[in-house]
Structure 1
Amino acid sequence: MEDVPDPQVPERARRRTYTAKYKRDILTEYESLNRQGRGALLRREKLYTSLVSSWRDQRDKGVLAALARPAGAPPASAAEKDAARLRKENLRLSGELETARQVIAIQGKLSALLDQLSTNSSETNTEK
């Protein structure tokens, strides 16, 4: 005969997890009820008052933290600031390098032109 596990007992116990929406809904309902209604809600959902209290504290701390946080993007970390500074410096240096390459190219062309002019000038002087 095969050993069938008891369907009422899981093989391994798991903690219950609650979504933020579920917590919010339970808190809203819990706070709108009287004492008997609260007890019935806790029994129906298989919750403890300590859990509801901790959810309330989490909610209140979250609201206070959200109100204390300044508007806009969060401040960048030191690493992000350093990376942004290095990217900006890299762009600046790349621009300077391109300018220097263009100057060198122009100087090379000018040198070749001057060399050609001096060669032509010396040839015309020797022909006279």
Structure 2
Amino acid sequence: MFSPEYKLMIVAEYENAPNGEKGAILRREGLYSSHVIEWTRARDAGALTTGGSETPPPARTRKSAEQVELEKLRRQNEKLKSDLAKTRMALDIMGKAHALLEGLSEGAENEPPSKTS
């Protein structure tokens, strides 16, 4: 279930995207073009509003190419920050595992062989 705010945001982004970028938005969000068509019709009919107020939806404003690009780069930046944090955490875990295995290996080399009869 998608919130009205999300639907309005996606419709606006989709409408303001250059022709070659519209499919990328759908793929990124895991949506179909039928979603955007349905949401656009609902918005135009006044059925898609944010909050519970009876005020009509805000008039559509076209974003400049720079604004669209800036929003795209900000989202990409946030994703990359998240990926970097995950990578750093994985490297930290790998370093700790390596140190643990190295310590176990050294301990096994220093122990006298066990006598079995």
Into which bin does the TM-score normalised by the smaller protein fall?
Answer: 0.3 to 0.5
Bigger Rg, structure 1 or 2: 1
Higher relative contact order (CA 8 A, sep 6+): 2
- Relative to the length of structure 2, the TM-score reads 0.45
